[in-house]
Chain A
């Protein structure tokens, strides 16, 4: 018997069988996008200088978290080098613009390409093995090495005290990006790009393959998934996106320091991601809003914020590995099916 025949009764189920709950739940992602649009619009329309700056920072961090989500959330790999690629993107684009004289929008693809090549070179040998240990170690070492290079090669990077960045990106599609609101638009745009990439991956065969790899590599290999290729691809895409966001960091903050590449920053990022929920689209944004937005408005001292984040990471890792968004999604699923 062919598969089609057995699937036929399901496929021809009449539409009335779709419950009210299922309809509502199907609408949740749309509602999520609308909420996001509203949030993004706030600084653009009503913001004073400070709100725009805050929005820009949050958008950058959310973009970074979203890009990390691709390799950590969907592929399940521990990429400790994410902040390093962020910094590499920032430094590479800054050096290309200030020393070589490229326009901003010419420097971005080159910086991304550099990041991609580096990620492939580092990732391929490490990802040949199962388990995340090798990748975690190598990327950790790579991140610290990158930081050391940035801190010591001061002919190129300005050394441990960092590099001052005075340029602004040129206009794109007629939008002037030099002003504070323009830079906000840049950050928000990058966030949208990362989200788009995540959405596309999630719906694609590649994405499903990634999830299979995350759950059980050996089984995925048996099912014909090119495990190593997919893992490397996810890592490279993530790193390239991080570099892209890094290119925006430079003109926004006007200043790049080697600390940007440190493993500490990646660890914070992982914490944010886990808090919000890895493997979901909303997760990184929720996590970023919670971690950066609220304390920034309340001006809680950074040290205590990090302690709390650390405790949260431990608790979430032990009891709630799917994070807030994951838990919410599970709840919603169960409600949809009529369970309580």
Chain B
């Protein structure tokens, strides 16, 4: 057998392949995006869907041809770090991303502990940070926060539509506020109490409980026998579910609830024991929607993640639209490295994605949200426009 012709054919093929790869690599370059999220740990229930949203958006952008800046085509890739729900790991994850000079945009983190730590680290560099934790609002517009954007509305914006709608739907007149003892809670009270009173509701009692409380009975007893017909509570599903359960067990407590933060899951479990429950869906209601855009997105989500939707899947819309916004901004600005211009462009754009995204000049979100309502055993939602 004479192998020599085969060998030379192989050589030619190898060179051709190498040349082709070289050529395509010149043609299709990559834009690296960074992402730091709590993929494990207690905060994963928020961050994991949010990270899926980013990956989904990147996948869709790449499938439709990537990003074209100044005639050059780019595909997007994502470097993902796990914050493990702890500030130290959020910082070290952010540091690893910052080490790579190609990464100019970082997405991620929806909870305060890891979020503040990572944001502080990222704020020291020239990188656009797009996050979602509540206290990010306090960093925007201040020195160090010029390159930061929060994609979820803050309490003041949300409450403006949430309070009137809830009061009307639930028909409450006298409400007690019960929140975990954190400073976010203090700002919640500062926003909601006046709004409730402005809508004709008395708020005779505000109580804070130890954040890792298991037994709510002593605190709940403070709300008994006061003629209350409703309660405002928060700030995450696990807490509110425990509160609802124990409230219904103890008896003598109001049966209408307003929930600041999280999903409707706690109420659905106790829908028979509860007369009314409203909650804020900071992205979109994906369970009971008639909006075709949302329905189509849900189908794409299920196909991409190969999972069914869960009560927390709506957090996947946290950053989804903003990825498209960043891609579009890069195209319009004509640069993939000019972070200031890209950031300014994103902040000044109104984007009609699955959510209607708008920001003010400092990066505070002013998008529209959905309000969830559970009444008479039926679940529905109402769209609240951005103010």
The reply to whether A and B meet directly (CB within 8 Å) is: yes
- The answer to whether B40 touches A255, judged by C-beta atoms less than 8 angstroms apart, is no
Consensus secondary structure, chain B interface: helix
- The answer to whether A255 touches B120, judged by C-beta atoms less than 8 angstroms apart, is yes
Select A154's contact among B91, B92, B181, beta carbons within 8 Å: B181
Tell me the complex Cα distance, A109–B181, Å: 32
Q: A166 to chain B: which residues have CB within 8 Å?
A: 120
Q: Which of B58-107 contact A (CB under 8 A)?
A: 82, 84, 86-89, 91-92, 95-96, 98-99
Q: Mark A299-313, 1 if CB is under 8 A from B, else 0.
A: 001110000000000
**B164 at interface, CB cutoff 8 A:** no
Stretch of A46-54, A77-85, A89-97 contacting B (4+ beta carbons < 8 Å): A46-54
Q: A171 to chain B: which residues have CB within 8 Å?
A: none
Q: B184 to chain A: which residues have CB within 8 Å?
A: 161
Select A253's contact among B88, B98, B182, beta carbons within 8 Å: B88
Q: Which of A111-165 contact B (CB under 8 A)?
A: 148, 151-152, 154, 158-162, 164
- The answer to whether A162 touches B116, judged by C-beta atoms less than 8 angstroms apart, is yes
**A333 at interface, CB cutoff 8 A:** no
Q: Which of B270-288 contact A (CB under 8 A)?
A: none
Q: B87 to chain A: which residues have CB within 8 Å?
A: 162, 253, 255, 257
Q: B117 to chain A: which residues have CB within 8 Å?
A: 253-255
From known contacts A49-B98, A254-B117, A254-B120, infer whether A152 and B181 are also in contact, taking CB-CB under 8 Å: yes
Q: A255 to chain B: which residues have CB within 8 Å?
A: 87, 91, 113, 116-117, 120
CB distance from B183 to the nearest CB of A (A): 5
Tell me the complex Cα distance, A53–B98, Å: 12
Select B92's contact among A57, A148, A301, beta carbons within 8 Å: A57
Tell me the complex Cα distance, A148–B112, Å: 19
Q: Which of B93-138 contact A (CB under 8 A)?
A: 95-96, 98-99, 112-113, 116-117, 120-121, 135
**A199 at interface, CB cutoff 8 A:** no
**B211 at interface, CB cutoff 8 A:** yes
Q: Which residue of A lies closest to B96 (CB)?
A: A50
Q: Which of B179-200 contact A (CB under 8 A)?
A: 180-184
From known contacts A255-B87, A257-B113, infer whether A158 and B211 are also in contact, taking CB-CB under 8 Å: no
Tell me the complex Cα distance, A212–B211, Å: 45
Q: A216 to chain B: which residues have CB within 8 Å?
A: none
Q: A164 to chain B: which residues have CB within 8 Å?
A: 116, 120
- The answer to whether B182 touches A303, judged by C-beta atoms less than 8 angstroms apart, is no
Q: Which residue of B lies closest to A164 (CB)?
A: B116
Q: Which of B132-175 contact A (CB under 8 A)?
A: 135
- The answer to whether B183 touches A302, judged by C-beta atoms less than 8 angstroms apart, is no
From known contacts A49-B98, A57-B92, A257-B87, infer whether A301 and B181 are also in contact, taking CB-CB under 8 Å: no
**A296 at interface, CB cutoff 8 A:** yes
Q: A162 to chain B: which residues have CB within 8 Å?
A: 87, 112-113, 116
Q: Mark A22-65, 1 if CB is under 8 A from B, else 0.
A: 00000000000000000000000000111001100100000000
Tell me the complex Cα distance, A154–B182, Å: 7
Tell me the complex Cα distance, A166–B112, Å: 16
Question: What are the 10 A-B residue pairs with the smallest beta carbon separation, nearest first?
Answer: A255-B117, A254-B120, A50-B99, A160-B211, A161-B112, A53-B95, A159-B182, A255-B87, A159-B183, A50-B95
A-B contact pairs, 6 of them (CB 8 A): A151-B211, A160-B211, A162-B87, A253-B87, A254-B117, A255-B113
Residue positions of A touching B, CB distance < 8 A: 48-50, 53-54, 57, 148, 151-152, 154, 158-162, 164, 166, 253-255, 257, 259, 296, 301-303
* Additional A-B contact list (13), CB under 8 Å, known A151-B210, A160-B182, A164-B120: A49-B98, A50-B99, A154-B181, A159-B181, A161-B112, A162-B112, A164-B116, A253-B87, A253-B88, A255-B91, A255-B120, A257-B113, A259-B86
